[in-house]
Structure 1
Amino acid sequence: MMSSTTGVTVIITYAIAILSSIQTIHTLSGSATTIAVSYGSTITICGITAGQPSQHIQCWRNGQVSDVFSNISFDSIAGGRDVFCGIRSGGSTLICWNPNLTPKRLYYNETVILTDLAVGDSQICAVTNTSQGTVNCWRDGEEFTTRNIRIRSVSSGLGLSCGVPVDNTSGIICFGSNSQLANTNTIQLQVEFDSFSMLNVFVGGGHVCGVNSTGFVICRGANDHGQIDVPDHEAFEFSALALGLNHTCGLRMLNKTVVCWGGGGGNVNVSDYVVGVSFESIVAGSDFTCGLTSNNLSVICWGDGWVRNGLYPSEFGLPLGSVLPGPCVRSGPPACGCGIYAQSDTLCSGSGSICMPCNLASLAPPSPPPSPPTGGGNVPRSSPSRPLRRGLLAFAIVGSIGTFAGICTIIYCLWTGICCGNKKIHNSVQPTITSTNHNGPQLSNNSSQVSRSSTIRRQASRAFRRQRSGTSSKHADREEEFTFADLALATDNFSLENKIGSGSFGVVYKGKLLDGREVAIKRGEMCQKAKKFQEKESAFDSELAFLSRLHHKHLVRLVGYCEEREEKLLVYEYMKNGALFDHLHDKKNVEQNSSLLNSWKMRIKIALDAARGIEYLHNYAVPPIIHRDIKSSNILLDANWVARVSDFGLSLMGPESDSEQRPTKAAGTVGYIDPEYYGLNVVTAKSDVYGLGVVMLELLTGKRAIFKSNDDGTGNGNGNGGTPISLVDYAIPTIVSGELAKILDKRVRPPEANEAESEAVELMAYTAIHCVNLEGRDRPTMTDIVANLERALTLCDDSHGSISISSGQISIISE
């Protein structure tokens, strides 16, 4: 039967093992925490910001503060010589930055995540969440083998990395910057720890320190400056260590103050600096130490190297914003075995909780335990008392339950992910086309047939596949090829927060590339049936083939693409002001009535921009291109409110002239589909003209392409039923009868009678009704439309101009 003393030792060992997984302990360059020091050619101090929507990194160097990836959250960071690295929230990605803050991704894996990180003089190492505790290491940005080294945590210093074995055997495992164990100094250090059962280990310049199973700090290695002369201390007195080139600092658990030993090389030792404040965590540079203060979560630094270089007065702290005291755990308080910070919700901006480190100070033994190993500089104390044993047992039970729950929660979140999310289709409340009657679409009065997902998706024909540009255009040199990891990183792993819409074959996310470019990333939907997968692949190939050779200021530009296994993604330039549909019909914009589109000049300009983009497709692309899905949600607005046509997933190469017709199954969106195309299954360039005509009617009336009879005039029904009405059927009779003013969008100031603006609005209205003629031959060409809209825009700028709206090819013919 286990003796009482042995049982307490086991409990203490287990309790400290739990603590070591929560409490941050730092080395020369740093095991991961929320603050990091990078030294070398320049000193850089970084922290993970608190109280912000994203827990991004903010850095101070050369007296300047700058943000790093302001839209991406990180769990922890660590720094070394001329480099600092960060583990992205969730542990799937490792990114590192050089002294110029140029980023490089070293690791990405959604299944095997990173749990610990250390950056040394010439190597970067991270431990994975596998049961074997595999460690991955990089040198000069390239991964090198670690010969299947299995450790629970990793620490790196000058040319050396160490860890505690997974199997909890005595001693430590160390390896050099090339993972070799044959280095004389490395072997000697390992030998000096062989007789100890270590809970963790930390590497400095030429010395190594760690906490043994009885809670005492043990240091071995170089001692030319007293860096391993540990001061007298009690068991479990120190909760964190920071090792520099030739000094060591310890963070006390009870009052969170710091004591340092060793140092030198200047006029004073680091131990001569007395910092009378409390800290949450500490990290070390080569000859100085920095800490995160408990009072206001600011960062201050001290030490001979800090003062000698005149970097910044420590008593005032660095001008960084508040820094998180720990990572924001998205799984919530159940994952925190020892409670959460009082201001956790505010610090994480509502996106998680910060776990309190498990505090063993209250369980400190009142009498000395057995003497610690020699060389540790520790004061011996007696064996723990019976109440202490009961307290430790209770802590171990509660702590283990909390830790287990936290691990299960994290694994569940990582395993489930987000797959097969519902598509957000920018569409009117529209009826589904269910009729096979080729005389045209039938609008049912039965509200049960009304569907929000009424966009028709059809597989492209074999003829189109044969006529598409070959691989040379599909993989054009000017388009970048991204890895899936790059795009997952840019979108915060395709988070719902970054979802901005849907396209012809998938969901669109906002992203930020490593070089700082903002982009829109369209990801093909997964988990679809075979036909849907074929449609997705066809739409992806279509957009890539077309956009790789189309370049016009009124077409959304393709930045690049990604094809990995079943993943198909397209990367576009980001359109800051979103889709025209949202400005006209989104409930928030309607209620606030604050859109910059609420002027007739702006609306005419947007119609003109879109028309010019479509004209380019019809007249200047070789061969011509028919878009087939012109609608307000496919007209996007950039930062300067310039309209651009997007989404070429349904596009086809068109005939050389209108006399040439190509049979193909109808595709498009209800309300915008050319009725002639739908009825005859013959597509021409005039099909795009019809769609643009509907868009112009939307701009004029503010109503959706299909709206309900109880619509209040803003394009939004009250949700109590109503009969679906086609905007074309609603608007044409009123415009033809000369009563345009009755149906104009009331959010825009009415054009004054007999003024040029009134004529401009009428000109766009008459252009629109000609575009939606039932027969394609009666519709104008895109060149005619561009000319009329240019005239309308000129009228808005010329209060004295007067141009007849009945002139030209699109004049109304009275019957």
Structure 2
Amino acid sequence: MGFGNQSESFVEKKSPRKKKDGGNEEEEEEETGCWVRLRFMGSCMSSRSRVDNSLSGRTATPYAESKPEKEKSRDQQVVSVSSTTTTSNAETASSTPKYSEELKVASQLRKFTFIDLKLATRNFRPESLLGEGGFGCVFKGWIEENGTAPVKPGTGLTVAVKTLNVEGLQGHKEWLAEVDFLGNLPHPNLVKLVGYCIEDDHRLLVYEFMPRGSLENHLFRRSLPLPWSIRMKVALGAAKGLAFLHEEAQRPVIYRDFKTSNILLDADYNAKLSDFGLAKDGPEGDKSHVSTRVMGTYGYAAPEYVMTGHLTSKSDVYSFGVVLLEMLTGRRSMDKNRPNGEHNLVEWARPHLGDKRSFFRILDPRLEGHFSIKGAQKAAQLAAQCLSRDPKARPRMSEVVETLKPLPNLKDMASSSYYFQTMQSDRVRLLNITNLTHHRNQEQKNHRLHWRIEAEKLHRQWTTVCR
């Protein structure tokens, strides 16, 4: 879920209700802020909440990330939950003895009061809403550059304030994971956690504001296509973030939910990973994997992880391959609106990735030839390696970074290539032949229908004469 300025509003706004007799101003604000009482920081889950299906066929768990109505079922959370382990967030919170004992945070994080963040976001009003997810709502706010006090909108430091929805999928445990990982893992390609608030029922996180929103928005919701060089720049930045988690952090971390909506972009299109609620410490010592419940997002999760629950860094590498494929093709990992055989992006594209000639056919047509031929070939080969069915055959993320480094700067544009122009001509010719064939078939069909109607008329007239 992005913490950026997303012009395509994620959440439909409702008009404020009138203040009832005997009510106070605080109660009126509670009814307008993200449709719910501010005391519980809102259940920002609208009627467009998506139902997440378990790949194992067990209990389905709801997950919400506000999107346009027509796209509400595009992404589905993969959550295997047994009935004996399923608990509400409220129960989890009430059963936690002392949150302060669990909270281990870096000293540089700022500790906010709830009233400070309430004022910084203008009372969590809908106009400040950036988006929502399984954790809760994300609001835009303004605070002091080096402090915690709220300031006038447009001044000071712009931040994204994420609130815990006590009735949502993710709860206190995921909140702690966010603070633990992001609070202790500073890196240019991980979104910066500014601070947190833990006060009564309130759990809030304060992040740096990412003005260009998520990669998902740029790939799938905006009318203008993301340029090739920027796509490769974003891929490189995201790869550096994963490589840091896997190979450079003091303790290895498996991200577990790598997808386009969790890749945020700053003003210069530098990619940063966000949402560490599902992250896990990687295996240490002689252990080869971590055994967990299967959680993630349908279409991105590695097949061996889905089948066994064995989580390794190569699970993240597979997810990176899916995202890289989305960037190459301009298609979502799962899209039921596509023709049969094209719903699953990986299965549709896999046969073309190793073919130097046919892989051009799966590239995003909106690029219109404005991409590097060598770069596209290298990226397609890399995606194929990351998506290998054998986890051991997948590259390490540091190797992925080295492969991607030169790609943003390659200048051999396909639009000026004789081969690409020939291929485009062949594609147009094939399209014209297909349209002509369809037109002729339709004419023949109409012709046959016409004579059948005429024959039926003659038959009825002859039957009437015979009588």
Q: TM-score range by the shorter chain?
A: 0.5 to 0.7
- Point out where structure 1 has 5 or more consecutive residues left out of the alignment: 1-329, 336-404, 438-449, 462-469, 712-721, 800-815
Alignment of 1:548-627 (within 5 A): 548-586=183-221, 589-590=222-223, 593=224, 597=226, 599-627=227-255
Q: Distance in 1 between matches of 2:373 and 2:48?
A: 30
Contact 1:707 1:725 in 2 (8 A): yes
Query: Which residue does the alignment assign to 2:349?
Result: 731
Given candidates 451, 454, 462, the residue that maps to 2:76 is 454
Q: Following TM superposition, by how much is the alpha carbon of 1:740 offset from its aligned partner in structure 2, in angstroms? A: 1.7
Q: 3-state DSSP class of the match of 1:477?
A: coil
Q: Distance in 2 between matches of 1:495 and 1:414?
A: 8
The answer as to 2:247 corresponding to 1:628 is no
Alignment of 1:95-494 (within 5 A): 413-414=28-29, 416-417=31-32, 418-419=35-36, 420-423=42-45, 432-436=53-57, 451=73, 454-457=76-79, 474-494=104-124
Query: Which residue does the alignment assign to 1:791?
Result: 406
Contact 2:79 2:295 in 1 (8 A): yes
Contact 1:662 1:682 in 2 (8 A): yes
For 1:787, the aligned partner's letter is E
The C-alpha deviation readout for 1:187-212, integer Å capped at 9, x for no partner, is: xxxxxxxxxxxxxxxxxxxxxxxxxx
Query: Which residue does the alignment assign to 2:166?
Result: 526
Q: Distance in 2 between matches of 1:709 and 1:730?
A: 14
Q: Distance in 2 between matches of 1:659 and 1:519?
A: 39
Q: Following TM superposition, by how much is the alpha carbon of 1:619 offset from its aligned partner in structure 2, in angstroms? A: 0.6
Q: Distance in 1 between matches of 2:351 and 2:76?
A: 26
Q: Distance in 1 between matches of 2:271 and 2:260?
A: 10
Change beyond 3 A, Cα 1:563–1:736: same
For 2:266, the aligned partner's letter is D
Contact 1:425 1:453 in 2 (8 A): no
Contact 2:301 2:319 in 1 (8 A): yes
Q: Distance in 2 between matches of 1:647 and 1:580?
A: 14
Equivalenced residues, count: 353
Q: Distance in 1 between matches of 2:244 and 2:286?
A: 16
Given candidates 177, 180, 201, the residue that maps to 1:545 is 180
Change beyond 3 A, Cα 1:411–1:550: closer
The C-alpha deviation readout for 1:643-667, integer Å capped at 9, x for no partner, is: 1111110001102479621111111
For 1:739, the aligned partner's letter is S
Query: Which residue does the alignment assign to 1:686?
Result: 314
Contact 1:479 1:561 in 2 (8 A): yes
Contact 1:430 1:706 in 2 (8 A): no
Contact 2:260 2:323 in 1 (8 A): yes
Q: Distance in 2 between matches of 1:749 and 1:797?
A: 14
Contact 1:426 1:581 in 2 (8 A): no
Q: Distance in 2 between matches of 1:725 and 1:431?
A: 17
Query: Which residue does the alignment assign to 2:329?
Result: 701
For 1:551, the aligned partner's letter is P
Q: 3-state DSSP class of the match of 2:197?
A: strand
Q: 3-state DSSP class of the match of 1:563?
A: strand
Contact 1:459 1:538 in 2 (8 A): no
Q: Distance in 2 between matches of 1:687 and 1:613?
A: 15
Alignment of 1:42-57 (within 5 A): none
Q: Distance in 2 between matches of 1:634 and 1:331?
A: 31
For 1:790, the aligned partner's letter is K
Q: Distance in 2 between matches of 1:763 and 1:657?
A: 34
The percent identity for this pair of structures is 36
Q: 3-state DSSP class of the match of 2:327?
A: helix
Change beyond 3 A, Cα 1:655–1:796: farther
Q: Following TM superposition, by how much is the alpha carbon of 1:485 offset from its aligned partner in structure 2, in angstroms? A: 0.8
Query: Which residue does the alignment assign to 2:363?
Result: 744
- Point out where structure 2 has 5 or more consecutive residues left out of the alignment: 1-14, 37-41, 59-71, 86-99, 144-149, 415-467
**Which structure has the highest strand share of the two?**
1
Q: Distance in 2 between matches of 1:786 and 1:664?
A: 28
Given candidates 289, 302, 305, the residue that maps to 1:677 is 305
Q: Distance in 1 between matches of 2:101 and 2:26?
A: 41
Q: Following TM superposition, by how much is the alpha carbon of 1:499 offset from its aligned partner in structure 2, in angstroms? A: 1.8
Contact 1:577 1:637 in 2 (8 A): yes
Query: Which residue does the alignment assign to 1:100?
Result: none
Q: Distance in 2 between matches of 1:692 and 1:774?
A: 14
Q: Which runs of 4+ in 1 moved over 6 A?
A: 405-412, 424-427, 458-461
Q: 3-state DSSP class of the match of 1:551?
A: coil
Query: Which residue does the alignment assign to 1:249?
Result: none
For 1:731, the aligned partner's letter is A
Contact 1:543 1:649 in 2 (8 A): yes
Q: Distance in 2 between matches of 1:701 and 1:620?
A: 31
Query: Which residue does the alignment assign to 1:775?
Result: 390
For 1:629, the aligned partner's letter is D
